Structure 1
């Protein structure tokens, strides 16, 4: 079957994944209000295109001083061997070939060094662990492995209540493990009405603080990016703390149910941080090249894309993930040109309007 949009790949992935694994990937927390709101908020935003412009430029962008083929990176997603036997290795190869950064997750099911060895532009996503030394050891391992940035997720002091996983009594199969540290068997222990993955993270994770951010910054020469920022006040404090990037995100609707969609805060944060030379990224709900254009127009340097890449991985392994990234490239090039822009920087000067229901 020919896939002509990301929705096609979503349907194909859902058809091949077992129900509880699909729920683990697709679900949000609570009543999934924030999960749905991410898409609804993006769909309410409209771009004001410009006409009679010279076109035919590039869709490339610069992220942390290096070229990316698109203004995007693959978002961190845990346990990718749930979706395909090659897991993170296949997804990282697809990102390498597409010319976009790939973010290795603390909870990857392949050791971070093996993923980084694929090449391309690896970033490393950090969860703050109860043992600070283990957290900082992961940072050092990522830097030694050639990662280019530390994406510090700050919105998971513990895992949100994901009702699909609770109803399914979700646990990892024996063949899928947290490969970057010895996590015991907590994530594999199936109990009715419990998520073994949530039980595992409750045991391993600790709430991060601004002192945690300073500890990470002091431990690495790499840019530190805070993922999970929504409040303008937190964004300004992050800049004052010397971070190299911010990801505006409600964790894909998987943490606080009722948290505002990132796209609704992006413009205000971008305006407040005007003149800052760090990277401002958006995460959550991106489902096509037109969504990337909207994020750029509202002030983002680029976006993170997570679930859709996993759809491609599930549907066809490395080739499926590559097809997904190729499709995003085609869609973004089309959207950029139809908006009258010959570059990503030109898209930052586009106007937008929000359509209010009723």
Structure 2
């Protein structure tokens, strides 16, 4: 549905950007579910800094170029995707929508992008695959002390057609998630976090890209909220960005259709950003688009 009704029965304003979904998701979810999705570890400083860091970067517009056709397609690990915007791993999607990860999987398949399924998905991996059998899937693994368990889990997802493993290497302990402790949130299994990396992901991107020197693809996960953010990440060397919280906002608002809208909005914004900077394809995005004098 393009419009939803508010509590008084009248039509609500359409959701036209990611933060619109954020505001409505907060209204729709219980406090404990919202705090789990939106909260960070400790004071949430790294989460907030990731978003703020993008705002400091300025793009350089380019004019008098033929941008009548703009192609957002790219590849990751040799697989074509419709845009460099994919779904990062996060657990317990059923907190946002009854079908949980099955809805997320269907939306990613419809959008033509990769969905990284979390070890702590609230739906079975088999159900997630069955919901979107033609989708591109990677699996995020928290390595457990029991090596036999790790082996069984890897074999299980490999047999289901997952194309790659995303290994979490930065979460040796569970972060101090104060909101979840206050809410006494109990998800019936051990929980570890993926977002415990260096502060300001976008600031670290240039160093990471330089260190790998083209030998491997570099992806960015953290702080992306607009199409401009996507372009900035790619200009600084990322091959693709991955979305976390915004996916759950869309899921909380409209289920599968909400996730589709989130991905479509960001893709359209990214296409506009490419057009205004004179980029007709992903290959034309480079560091020259960044106004480094403003950093």
Q: TM-score, normalised by structure 2?
A: 0.90
Please list every run of 5 or more consecutive structure 2 residues that lacks an aligned counterpart in the other structure: 1-12
Q: Which residue of 1 aligns with 2:7?
A: none
**Does 2:104 match 1:91?**
yes
**Map of 1:280-295 to 2, 5 A cutoff?**
280-295=218-233
Measure the CA separation in 2 of the matches of 1:260 and 1:317. 31
Measure the CA separation in 1 of the matches of 2:194 and 2:56. 20
Measure the CA separation in 1 of the matches of 2:60 and 2:172. 39
**Map of 1:265-344 to 2, 5 A cutoff?**
265-276=204-215, 278-344=216-282
Q: Does the Cα contact within 8 Å between 1:251 and 1:284 map onto a contact in 2? A: no
Q: Which residue of 2 aligns with 1:191?
A: none
Decide which of 174, 179, 186 is 1:159's aligned counterpart: 174
Measure the CA separation in 2 of the matches of 1:57 and 1:327. 16
Query: CA-to-partner distance for each residue in 1:35-80, whole Å, 9 max, x for gaps?
Result: 1110111111112222222211301111111110011210001011
Judged with a 3 Å threshold, the aligned counterparts in structure 2 of structure 1 residues 350 and 148 are, in CA distance, closer, same or farther, namely farther
Judged with a 3 Å threshold, the aligned counterparts in structure 2 of structure 1 residues 26 and 115 are, in CA distance, closer, same or farther, namely same
Q: Which residue of 1 aligns with 2:46?
A: 34
**SS in structure 2 opposite 1:47?**
coil
**SS in structure 1 opposite 2:291?**
strand
Measure the CA separation in 1 of the matches of 2:36 and 2:223. 16
Measure the CA separation in 2 of the matches of 1:20 and 1:122. 29
Q: Does the Cα contact within 8 Å between 1:41 and 1:264 map onto a contact in 2? A: yes
Q: Which residue of 1 aligns with 2:290?
A: 352
Please list every run of 5 or more consecutive structure 1 residues that lacks an aligned counterpart in the other structure: 173-184, 188-199, 206-249
Q: CA deviation at 1:349?
A: 4.5
Measure the CA separation in 1 of the matches of 2:289 and 2:147. 44
Q: Does the Cα contact within 8 Å between 2:85 and 2:263 map onto a contact in 1? A: no
Measure the CA separation in 2 of the matches of 1:37 and 1:353. 20
Decide which of 71, 89, 94 is 1:58's aligned counterpart: 71
**Map of 1:11-50 to 2, 5 A cutoff?**
11-50=23-62
Q: Does the Cα contact within 8 Å between 2:85 and 2:243 map onto a contact in 1? A: yes
Q: CA deviation at 1:9?
A: 0.6
Q: CA deviation at 1:3?
A: 1.0
Query: CA-to-partner distance for each residue in 1:178-218, whole Å, 9 max, x for gaps?
Result: xxxxxxx4x4xxxxxxxxxxxx23xxx7xxxxxxxxxxxxx
Query: CA-to-partner distance for each residue in 1:270-308, whole Å, 9 max, x for gaps?
Result: 1232231x2210010111111110000000000110110
Q: Which residue of 2 aligns with 1:103?
A: 116
Measure the CA separation in 1 of the matches of 2:30 and 2:256. 19
Q: CA deviation at 1:351?
A: 3.1
Q: Which residue of 1 aligns with 2:200?
A: 261
**SS in structure 1 opposite 2:218?**
strand
Query: CA-to-partner distance for each residue in 1:233-285, whole Å, 9 max, x for gaps?
Result: xxxxxxxxxxxxxxxxx944xx37xx421111101211232231x22100101
Q: CA deviation at 1:336?
A: 0.9
